[in-house]
Amino acid sequence: MKIAVQEQILDAATRLFAEKGYATVSLQDVAAMSGVEESELTRLFGSVEKLYEAVLELQFSNYAASLGAPFDGSEGPVTKVELFATAMCEFHKQAPYFFPLFYRELLTPSPCFESIILKRIRRVAYMSDNNIAKGIQKGNFRHGVNPANATMVMVGMFHYYFLANCLVGSLLPENTTDEEFFSQAVKVFLNGLRKEE
C-alpha cells in the first residue's frame, strides 16, 4: 500500500516536472495532481528538491538499464546498433517524460545534473563508443571514424526526433510511424559507417 502511494506521487511529479519545469512546480501542485495530502508528501519525500531528485534518479537509472542492455549481449556490432535503436524507440514509448526532463536539465542544469544525469548518459555513451570501436576493429565499420563522434550522431538523430514530436506532424509525411523513421535512420547511419568495399 505504501509503495502504491509512493508510485502515485512519483507519477504525478514526473509529469508535472516534465511539463512545467522544476522551478515552477510546488509540493502543493504535486499534492493536487496526485490526490495525496501535502503533509504525506512532505513526510515521504521531505521537500520538492528531494522529490525532483527521486524522479530523476528513477528516470535515469531506467534509461541506463534499458539503453545499456543492447550492448551487453553477444551479438555483433551492427546488430547491437539496431538493437539500440529499437530499445530507444521502446524506451520513449514507455517513459514519455524522460526526454522533456532531460532537455530541461540540459537547458537549466539542477544540482543533480552531474551526479544523476551526466553519470548515466556517460555510461551509455561509453558502451556505444566501445561497440563502434569494436566494429571498426572487426571490419564492419570504416577506419577513420571517431567512435565518440559516431555515437553523438546516432544518439542525436533519435533525440531530436522525440523532442521535435510536436513538429513531426507537420514535417514528416502524414502516415510515417516511429518505427519507420527509426528503421530508416538506422539504415542511413549504418550505411554511412560501412566499410567501403
Q: Could you list the residues that contact a second copy (CB under 8 A)? A: 19-21, 23-24, 100, 103-104, 106-109, 118, 121-122, 125, 145-146, 148-153, 155-161, 163-164, 166-168, 170-173, 176, 180-181, 184-185, 187-194
Please state the closest distance from residue 26 (CB atom) to a second copy, in A.
15
How far is residue 150's CA from residue 71's CA, in Å, rounded to a whole number? 15
Toward a second copy, which CB reaches closer, 7 or 179?
A: 179
Contact 184, 85 (CB under 8 A): no
Toward a second copy, which CB reaches closer, 45 or 162?
A: 162
Toward a second copy, which CB reaches closer, 39 or 177?
A: 177
Please state the closest distance from residue 105 (CB atom) to a second copy, in A.
9
Pick from 126, 152, 131: nearest CA to 141: 131
Toward a second copy, which CB reaches closer, 98 or 161?
A: 161
CA 42 to chain centre: 28
Please state the closest distance from residue 36 (CB atom) to a second copy, in A.
26
Toward a second copy, which CB reaches closer, 39 or 137?
A: 137
Contact 10, 45 (CB under 8 A): no
The SS3 call for residue 43 is: helix
DSSP-assigned letter for residue 164? T
Q: What is the dihedral of CA 180, 187, 121, 91, to 10 degrees?
A: 30
Contact 48, 27 (CB under 8 A): yes
Please state the closest distance from residue 190 (CB atom) to a second copy, in A.
7
Please state the closest distance from residue 118 (CB atom) to a second copy, in A.
6
